Amino acid sequence: MPVAVTELIPHRPPFLFVDEIVSDAPEAFVAKRTWRADEDFYRGHYPGAPITPGVLLCEAVFQTAACYMALKARAAGGKPGEGVPLIAKIGDVRFRSPVYPGDTVLIEVREKEAMGGFTMLSGSMKRADGTRVMNLECAVAWKTPEGAPTP
């Protein structure tokens, strides 16, 4: 039975940019997202010529990475830890093709290494037709943000 994304990460609409997990293979973790025309950010980015903001494309990759880390922790008999997934480092971001309202993308993350509570990953995004959209490198950790209230 597939696991719901909302069972893995704390993100919720309107700031949830992963619709479903497509595959959880050892070599690559893949998720899917359809960018809906009624999403509010399209009204201002850009009026009459909407395009998905690059920062939200990056966020979709980060959320996919967090799903990967949560499932990996679950498989090891635990949970990701207290707190939330936090981005510690972003690098080598390259945008290759825009994403428009209605486009469905596949988001892939691959673990490069884990060290000291941080997981270094590479991420990429392609449209469902195979067109490359973007790629990046990042480091993610599950932490309680300093100064954040604890439940």
Q: Residue 150 falls within a domain, yes or no?
A: no
Please report the pLDDT score of residue 117 as a whole number.
Answer: 87
11 is catalytic: no
First to last CA, the chain: 30
Instruction: Tell me whether residue 148 is in a domain.
Output: no
The total of structural domains in the chain comes to 1
The stretch 15-40 carries a mean pLDDT of 95
Whole domain around residue 30: which residue ranges? 5-143
Which strands, in side-by-side order, build the sheet including 104-115? 20-24, 29-34, 104-115, 118-127, 132-143, 84-95
The domain that holds 52 is classified in CATH as 3.10.129.10
Q: Which of 16, 22, 45, 120 is catalytic?
A: 45
Whether 139 and 118 have beta carbons less than 8 Å apart is answered as yes
Q: Per-residue confidence at 138, pLDDT binned at 50, 70, 90?
A: very high
pLDDT in tens, 50-108: 999 999 999 999 999 999 999 988 888 876 666 789 999 999 999 999 999 999 999 99
Q: Is 117 part of any domain? A: yes
Does residue 151 lie within any of the structural domains? no
Give the residue from 17, 33, 123 showing the smallest Cα distance to 69: 123
